[in-house]
Structure formats: C-alpha cells, structure tokens
Amino acid sequence: MTGTGKYDKTPVGALAGFILPLVAAFLFWFFSPGDLSIPSYFRKIIRADILTHIMSLSVTCNLVLFLVFNRLDMLQASRGVLGMTIAWAVLVFTVKFLL
C-alpha cells in the first residue's frame, strides 16, 4: 500500500469536497473589503443577490482537489469529491431558483 492508499476512500474525498468550499467561502469573507462580521457579510451578499455566485466560486476549488486526487491515482477519493461537488451544485441550483 502506498502512502496515499490509506486516504483513497470515498468518504475521505466527500469530506474534503464538503470542507474545501466552506474554507473558500470563509476566505472570501476574510479578504472582502470592510470590517463585516460573518452574519453582516451574508446579509450583504444576499442583498446584492450574489450568494449563488459566491457558492459557485467556492465549489470550483473542488476542481483542483479532484485533479490532485486523480494525479495521485486516488480514484475512490476522486469519486467522493465528485459526488460532493454534484451535491453542492444541487444546493446552488436550489438556492438560485427557490430563494
């Protein structure tokens, strides 16, 4: 078993695919202009009607993670990232068309 073999599991990829967009969204907040709290920031992006844009940009980080897992031949982890990316996409479409 290689060094990456113990992490080549679908739940590991799904967890990484769930957490990475949250980290990216946090970084968007952290580097945004102004001194807003997190709730104020979310109110601001909802008022500006760009919530789904921020969510979509956050999920694109999963593309890099997917490509890294593929490059390392961690196909089960890639499957988890892909599944979580699809789940995020469903959430983005739901927010876009229902809210």
**24-45 burial, b for 16+ CB within 10 Å, e for fewer?**
bbeeebeeeeeeeeeeebeeeb
Distance from C-alpha of 93 to C-alpha of 41, rounded to nearest angstrom: 21
For residue 75, give the nearest of 23, 2, 19 by alpha carbon. 2
pLDDT at position 91: 96
- Other CB atoms within 10 Å distance of the CB of residue 20: 20
pLDDT at position 3: 66
> How far is it between the farthest Cα atoms of the chain?
51
How many Cα atoms are found within 13 Å in the side-chain-facing hemisphere of 90? Answer: 6
How far is Cα of residue 67 from the mean position of the Cα atoms in its chain? Answer: 14
Judge contact between 28 and 55, C-beta under 8 A. Answer: no
- The 10s digit of each residue's pLDDT in 50-96 is 999 999 999 999 999 999 999 999 999 999 999 999 999 999 999 99
- pLDDT greater than 80 at residue 1: no
- The 10s digit of each residue's pLDDT in 13-47 is 999 999 999 999 999 999 999 889 999 999 999 99
pLDDT at position 16: 97
